Amino acid sequence: MSSSPKVTVSPLKNTAKVKIVFSGLEQLYATLEGLPLDMQSEIIGSSVGEAVKPLVRLAKSYAPKRTGALAASITSKVVKSKIKGTAVAIMGPSKQRFKGKKAVKKGESKAGSEQPSRYAHLVEFGHMTSKGRVGARPFMRPATAAGQEQVGRLMLVGIGNGINKAVKKYKKQNF
């Protein structure tokens, strides 16, 4: 597992998709594919969850700070498919409302609050108004590009650690 992962970023409309390509790791893939699908999704899910954390920190630091709500709203979640043995990390502004940098809690007044998920794409890609074009102020794509090497390394380490944990758990259950 000494090969360093090659990581590429492919932008899509209104998002940044990270495609991670590892080379020279056939043994790791073979080991992972030999595990049950639900175990694969757990291993990949925990690995992806750890790998996306630096991207979230970078996106928060790159986000424009007019009120701080946009940066505060950036979060991630991991969606696992135990049927397919896969997991995906989704990163972006949450749908929660914010007053400045503080999230509005259930039961609190929403007056004066904002929902960054409703305008984050306009900040990222720019938009038109009646007065003309408002320039893009990208924060998600630069964060993804800046963190791609680190994501690849964390994924690699996470999958290796996950496989080791799974093997220990399997041995404990069968002895």
CA pair distance 161, 159, nearest whole angstrom: 5
**Within a domain: residue 168?**
no
**Within a domain: residue 60?**
yes
Contact indicator for 27, 12 with CB cutoff of 8 Å = no
> What total number of domains does the chain contain?
1
pTM, whole model, 2 decimals? 0.79
**Within a domain: residue 71?**
yes
* pLDDT means over runs of 10, the chain (175 residues): 50 57 67 82 87 93 93 92 85 91 90 91 93 94 87 85 80 74
**Within a domain: residue 169?**
no
**Within a domain: residue 64?**
yes
**Within a domain: residue 82?**
yes
> Which residue segment(s) compose the domain that 147 sits in?
6-159
CA pair distance 84, 33, nearest whole angstrom: 11
pLDDT for res 150 = 87
- In terms of Cβ atoms closer than 10 Å to its own Cβ (0-12, 13-18, 19+), residue 17 is exposed
pLDDT for res 2 = 47
Long-range contacts from 52-55, C-beta under 8 angstroms, 24+ separation: 52/76, 52/78, 52/89, 52/91, 52/151, 54/147, 54/150, 54/151, 54/154, 55/91, 55/143, 55/144, 55/147, 55/151
**Within a domain: residue 125?**
yes
**Within a domain: residue 165?**
no
Contact indicator for 34, 27 with CB cutoff of 8 Å = no
Give the pLDDT confidence of 71-119 residue by residue, as tens digits: 999 999 999 888 888 888 889 999 999 998 889 998 898 888 899 999 9
